[in-house]
Structure 1
Amino acid sequence: MLALLERTGCTCLITLHDLGVAAAVCDEVHVLSKGAIVASGPPSAVLTGALLRDVFGVRAAIGRHPLTGGVQISVDYLSEAT
């Protein structure tokens, strides 16, 4: 569905809870915490390890997807963020 939306060239506002998908398909993301926007911009600028730690309480490594070159997020859900 997201690939179809992308091909239309239309501007779409979508809500995603999977940050990996958001990083892969969105030109711009807005991160909310407690109902307020805490960061906005391109995924490569917004989705940082520090932001994911502060907002979601997870440890994350941000890198480049080996096939697409887009943002790739690896999250350690089992450890507490420090």
Structure 2
Amino acid sequence: MAKKKYDWYAENNDTNTSEIEVFDANGNRLQSGDSVIAIKPLKIKGGGDIKKGEKFKNIRLTDNPEEIECGKIVLRTEFFKKV
């Protein structure tokens, strides 16, 4: 039986979010479930803006160490600091 076209990607890319180190704007290590605060105002396309000092609770880490999930949106870690 022939392999699917992209089976090599799944075999060679065994990344686990628990092994990835994610850091905030100040260099503090972030973990899933942490709370973060915005360090500058951000404009969101198609939605409201994020104000400086706005707090996000219970973040989730993604496969990309430069991004975190805050509810339904994915945000860059460079604009947030750990509470």
Give the TM-score band, short-chain normalised: under 0.3
User: What is the TM-score normalised by the length of structure 2?
Assistant: 0.24
Which has the higher Rg, Structure 1 or Structure 2? 2
Q: Which has the higher helix share?
A: 1
